[in-house]
Amino acid sequence: MTVLVTGAAGFIGFHLTRRLLERGTPVIGFDNINSYYDPTLKTARIYQLQALAKRTGSRFHLIKADLKDRLAVEKSFEIYKPVQVVNLAAQAGVRYSIDNPTAYLQANLVGFGHILEGCRQHSVEHLVYASSSSVYGGNINLPFSEHQGVDHPVSLYAASKRANELMAHTYSHLYGLPTTGLRFFTVYGPWGRPDMALFLFTKAMLAGKPIQLFNNGKMMRDFTYVDDIIESLIRVLDKPAVADASFNPTEPDPATSWAPYRVFNIGNSNPTELMDYINAIESAIGATAIKEYLPMQPGDVPSTASDTTALEAWIGFKPNTPVKEGVARFVAWYRDFYSV
């Protein structure tokens, strides 16, 4: 039951691959290890995975290539014949998409198209792919539910993730490919991304430098600890999407379909004010942050909150790690990894 994990050197991809290897599942990792953020961190993650595979006798092989390379993707499917695929590779970041739109078109649209074709041509049993809470765009009706419309994105990143959902549905309909999209809500934890708030704040505070608070600090996020994300991912992977027998085409539900297609929110369902998040970091570090208040950034939204009722009903699990506990674990990892 080989699983192909794209973005295996990334934050969530690393944690998922580690969990799969721990349970003895063979994993083919696929990652271009680009320089969007420090490749040293990505390389360190890969070393961790290789060492784990060696210790446990599990099979792990990394393909260093880009999703937009159609031949590289095709070869991965032809040689390794994955039974399941988890697509986590993407050009990430809302703010980065303002200045670098082409990167999103290539990685998130062209690259995802290559993954869909690989799954179709090789009869993959289940494709799970990363969507994002950003698809809710200008919606201010909290908490966000999969049953709400998502047709008003406020960034190209969000639009690309919504496009992934639509592309996946087409393949589920035309070819019977079971696809499940996961709308992640602000994932954080050890081995996290350097462009995310927790990493940036921790780094600045330990160096005695100011942290930047957009929208004058009046932000709220449904921060979700990475272990909860991985537990959800594993359970979703093991339960492929099926057609919804109760789907009514005269009143179509965006969350389900007559095809084997599903989308789920994955969040903590306990949104946290940004200032409370910072308080948790200050507590873990033992220092007070120097705060710089700035206006809202283009493409950003002030608040997110997830309704995970559908996910809980589908897999019998609900993310629940308290923010204070998750932040403390990240700070401990950061201090150890960077020796500060």
Angle (CA) 87 240 123, round 5°: 70
The pLDDT value recorded for residue 241 is: 97
Q: How far apart are CA 127 and CA 121, in angstroms?
A: 13
For residue 81, the Cα-to-chain-centroid distance in whole angstroms is 24
| β 272-273/220-221 pair status | antiparallel
Contact predicate 242/260, CB 8 Å: yes
Strand segments, DSSP code E, in 122-185 are: 126-132, 179-184
DSSP state of 295: P
Q: In terms of Cα–Cα distance, which of 82, 150, 151, 329 is closest to 223?
A: 329
Domains of the chain: 3-192+224-268+306-320 (3.40.50.720)
Cβ within 8 Å of residue 12, ≥6 positions away? 88, 130, 184, 187, 226, 229, 230, 233
Q: From the candidates 37, 157, 225, 277, give the one annotated as an active-site residue.
A: 157
Tokens describing residue 2: 């080989």
Q: Measured in Å, how far apart are the chain's first and last C-alpha atoms?
A: 41
Strands 261-266 and 179-184: parallel
Residue 136 annotated in active site: no
**Helix extents (H) in 176-218:** 197-206
What is the distance of C-alpha 223 from the center of its chain?
Answer: 12
| Per-position pLDDT tens, the chain of length 340 | 899 999 999 999 999 999 999 999 999 999 999 988 899 999 999 999 999 999 999 999 999 999 999 999 999 999 999 999 999 998 887 778 888 889 899 999 999 999 999 999 999 999 999 999 999 998 999 999 999 999 999 999 999 999 999 999 999 999 999 999 999 999 999 999 999 999 999 999 999 999 999 999 999 999 999 999 999 999 999 999 999 999 999 999 999 999 999 999 999 999 999 999 999 999 999 999 999 999 998 888 899 999 999 999 999 999 999 999 999 999 999 999 999 9
CA 268 – CA 221 distance, rounded (Å): 10
pLDDT of res. 254: 93
Count H helices and E strands in the chain, helices first: 12, 13
Question: What is residue 1's DSSP assignment?
Answer: -
